[in-house]
């Protein structure tokens, strides 16, 4: 795993992380522009969760503030982690209903794109959805599966996470809406998913998802779309590892992008 140029912030003697004025200003910039961007594009379940979190606009919140909302809602907590963690640690945390949050925020020069997830991506992109029982259940099951999977199996499971938790879309009576944190926390990806004629939108199919390569450093050429967020309950109840083994036997689809080392 490539080392990060960022270092997660640690709490002071009072138990709080004391962010600088510039770090809080970056948070405020990200909050302001992305709140405007997700209106009429995010699913109602996300917007409801975001209202429950009541994230401050002018400062980076403390993780305890998030936990006071998540725990009563679905039993989840957020856990402070370094900028990058191992896959073993990642799955261990999810399996224990703890969502990893690296306590650093991107620099202003990285405002539009950052490869490693920062606190804005994790809190704004993911934590609102963790107030929803179906999303919370799916993420918990995913962590349990990943904990016991082989490295090769984890590669296939990573595609399931990518096309749901990170880049998932939802059909609603009002039209297509976002529930994936990788889109919700990115102005560019949000606009691309709604305004570009380049991406392909496919109905969610487990085997197809597991066999679809992706790259982390480009706008996504393919999105998989659920008909209801409650479909995640059904997906969590499937024999996912049996589907992983089928996908392993069938092999990956040809990529719809120029391959790079970052393709998964």
Q: Are 126 and 68 in contact (CB under 8 A)?
A: no
Residue showing tokens 């709080």: 16
Query: What does the alpha-carbon distance between residue 38 and residue 47 come to, in Å, rounded to a whole number?
Result: 9
CA distances in angstroms from 76 to 58, 61, 111, 246, 261, listed in the order given: 25, 17, 28, 31, 34
Residue 140, annotated ligand binder?
A: no
SS3 210: helix
Residue 166, annotated ligand binder?
A: yes
Q: Give CA 43 to chain center in angstroms.
A: 15
Q: Are 212 and 158 in contact (CB under 8 A)?
A: no
Residue 116, annotated ligand binder?
A: no
| Contacts with 27 (C-beta within 8 Å, 6 or more apart), sequence order | 19, 58, 59, 60, 105, 119, 120
Numbered residues of the known binding site for Fe cation: 121, 126, 166
Annotated binding site: 121, 126, 166
């Amino acid at each position: 795993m490539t080392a990060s140029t960022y270092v997660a912030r640690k709490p002071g003697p009072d138990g709080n992380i004391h962010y600088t004025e510039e770090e809080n200003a970056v948070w405020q910039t990200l909050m302001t522009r992305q709140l405007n961007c997700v209106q009429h594009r995010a699913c109602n379940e996300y917007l409801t969760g975001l209202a429950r979190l009541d994230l401050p606009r002018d400062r980076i919140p403390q993780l305890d503030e998030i936990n006071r909302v998540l725990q009563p809602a679905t039993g989840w907590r957020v856990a402070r982690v370094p900028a990058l963690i191992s896959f073993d640690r990642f799955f261990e945390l999810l399996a224990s209903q703890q969502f990893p949050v690296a306590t650093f925020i991107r620099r202003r020069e990285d405002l539009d794109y950052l490869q490693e997830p920062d606190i804005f991506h994790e809190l704004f992109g993911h934590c609102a959805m963790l107030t929803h029982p179906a999303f919370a259940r799916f993420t918990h099951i995913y962590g349990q599966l990943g904990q016991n999977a082989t490295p090769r199996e984890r590669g296939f499971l990573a595609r399931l996470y990518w096309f749901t938790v990170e880049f998932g879309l939802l059909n609603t009576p009002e039209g297509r809406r976002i529930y994936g944190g990788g889109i919700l926390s990115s102005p560019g990806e949000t606009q691309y998913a709604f305004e570009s004629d380049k991406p392909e939108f496919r109905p969610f199919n487990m085997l197809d998802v597991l066999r679809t390569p992706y790259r982390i450093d480009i706008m996504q050429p393919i999105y998989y779309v659920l008909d209801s967020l409650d479909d995640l309950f059904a997906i969590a109840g499937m024999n996912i590892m049996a589907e992983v083994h089928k996908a392993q036997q069938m092999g990956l689809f040809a990529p719809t992008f120029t391959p790079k080392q970052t393709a998964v």
